[in-house]
Amino acid sequence: MTQKDSIPRAAQAVPELRRIRAELSRLIEPGDLLAGVAVELLGAEVLHDLITSDRVLSRRQGAELAASAASAGLGPRQQSLAAGLQRWRTRRDQLHGQRDIDAMARFSGGILIPEDPDWPAQLRDLGPASPVALWFRAGEGLSDRERLDRLPTFTRAAAIVGSREITDYGIRITAELTEELVQAGLCLISGGAYGVDAAAHRAALRSAAERRAESSGGHALSQPHRPTPTIAVLAGGLDRLYPAGNEGLLQEVSAAGMLLSEMAPGSAPTRHRFLQRNRLIAALGMITVVTEARWRSGAQSTAHHALTLGRPVGVVPGSVFSASSSGCHRLLKETPAQVVTDAADVLALAGGLASVEPAAHPVLPMDVAKAPGRGHPQDGLTEAQRLLYDALPVHGLSSPAKLSGVAGLPLPKVLAELSRLQRSGRARTVNGQWGRAPAARSRPGLPTPS
């Protein structure tokens, strides 16, 4: 229990901050935007103190908080600190942060906070919806350092999600896509549910096991760092693995990869937490792929989170007579999500973001053959493509309508050729705006965007 007489003005020692954020992760429901704004403006300690004491903010602090909340787009109701404190104080009798941290240590895990250098920078894209902390479970008998080394950078993570109900078709394409992406050195990000989530984790684990078997063979070169194959982001506390039928699978994910949750141990996976959990899956990966989804599915929510964050969304089409693909087609019809049919498509759609290591087997010969930087970027282009490539800004971005004017090409042609230039690694797109992709040779290691 923290009981202080004055609001602390300077950052606490890190262990104290860790305990404070551990407690906030129990007090505050995920995605509480006012709490996010308050943490940004006042700091975690002040918010914690406000919740746990009966102090009030100064008039100036209150006005600043209201202004920050308004500029973050919160409505009048969401801006109310009084209502916020009422929410956050409902679990004020459960302030046992250190006990939770100690408990997670017994589960081969711990807590990561935004002040840690290992905090995934891509989560900052969530703004005030950023999680207060991330609980993790990984490996057994490892140090926290070794565990956190399993966190992939943004450009090595791809989310694959879908419905709980899965068909043979869904299993097959989920497994194929996941295996190829993991073989290409990417880390799968998914939930822990039955269906697509489970099929994807199984495929990732299988792919990692094959890689281990190969690299332990006589002729293999030493592998100083083995990329993490898979991460499951769960909606409840990591002390209990939900659903129970996936407990064994999630333990395997923890052993070879990682489990993450923003909820403190002992927290139940409620419906609200499932929906909010989806924003973490969308934020952690550079792309979200929906392989099979019904009309209403959590995958819809994950895809919308990804699009809101400006991340590309790939969707696997299927039979128009299959209810299990209707959610995929819905995304293709109602959102800017793009069709993907294989791993090469996923990597192309992730675009300039992917920094994929050479795979042991050349699993993506098409994509590699299409990669830029193996000659002049204009080699093999048609006249229209050359005009358009010339028109693309090297720095910054331009709209298709503007490019149409600059290149002197009709808009439908521009749209069609932009897709082709993107697929051949020459153009990049952000929120419907287009620019020239950086040459592959000049970007051996992209910095993680923050």
CA 351 – CA 379 distance, rounded (Å): 19
In three-state secondary structure terms, 432 is coil
CA 127 – CA 18 distance, rounded (Å): 20
Query: Per-residue string for binding with its own copies, 130-169, x by CB under 8 A?
Result: ---------------------------------------x
9, 271, 333, 395: residue in contact with its own copies (rule CB under 8 A): 333
Burial of residue 61 (number of CB atoms within 10 Å: 0-12, 13-18, 19+) = middle
Give DSSP secondary structure letters for 365-409.
HHHHHH-TTSS-TTTT--HHHHHHHHHS-SSS-B-HHHHHHHHT-
The values of phi and psi at residue 109, to 5°, are -150, -165
Question: Does residue 439 interact with its own copies by CB under 8 A?
Answer: no
Bin 221: left if φ > 0, else alpha if -120 < ψ < 50, else beta.
beta
Q: Which stretch binds its own copies (CB under 8 A): 61-69, 193-201, 370-378, 411-419?
A: 411-419
Question: Does residue 412 interact with its own copies by CB under 8 A?
Answer: yes
Report the residue number, 185 or 327, with the smaller CB distance to its own copies: 327
Question: Does residue 365 interact with its own copies by CB under 8 A?
Answer: no
Cα–Cα distances in Å, from 245 out to 170, 194, 195, 378, 448?
A: 19, 8, 12, 53, 36
Question: Does residue 416 interact with its own copies by CB under 8 A?
Answer: yes
CA 138 – CA 116 distance, rounded (Å): 17
Question: Does residue 410 interact with its own copies by CB under 8 A?
Answer: yes
20, 35, 173, 259: residue in contact with its own copies (rule CB under 8 A): 173
Q: Which of residues 334-353 bind its own copies (CB under 8 A)?
A: 334-336, 338-342, 345
CA 6 – CA 11 distance, rounded (Å): 14
**271: number of Cβ within 10 Å:** 9
Question: Does residue 76 interact with its own copies by CB under 8 A?
Answer: no
99, 371, 413, 448: residue in contact with its own copies (rule CB under 8 A): 413
Q: Which stretch binds its own copies (CB under 8 A): 96-104, 147-155, 294-302, 397-405?
A: 397-405
Report the residue number, 63 or 411, with the smaller CB distance to its own copies: 411
Question: Does residue 449 interact with its own copies by CB under 8 A?
Answer: no
Cα–Cα distances in Å, from 77 out to 69, 74, 80?
A: 11, 8, 6
Question: Does residue 431 interact with its own copies by CB under 8 A?
Answer: yes
**Pairing verdict, β 230-233 and 258-261:** parallel
Q: What is the dihedral of CA 40, 42, 46, 50, to 10 degrees?
A: -100
Question: Does residue 319 interact with its own copies by CB under 8 A?
Answer: yes
Q: Which stretch binds its own copies (CB under 8 A): 189-197, 282-290, 425-433, 439-447?
A: 425-433
Report the residue number, 134 or 307, with the smaller CB distance to its own copies: 307
Report the residue number, 321 or 358, with the smaller CB distance to its own copies: 321
In 114-194, which ranges are E strands?
A: 134-137, 157-162, 187-190
Q: Which stretch binds its own copies (CB under 8 A): 137-145, 154-162, 264-272, 305-313?
A: 305-313
1, 13, 221, 401: residue in contact with its own copies (rule CB under 8 A): 401
Q: Which stretch binds its own copies (CB under 8 A): 105-113, 194-202, 241-249, 315-323?
A: 315-323
Q: Which residues bind to its own copies, rule: CB under 8 A? A: 169, 172-173, 304, 307-308, 310, 316-321, 325-326, 329, 332-336, 338-342, 345, 399-401, 410-413, 415-416, 419-420, 423, 431-433
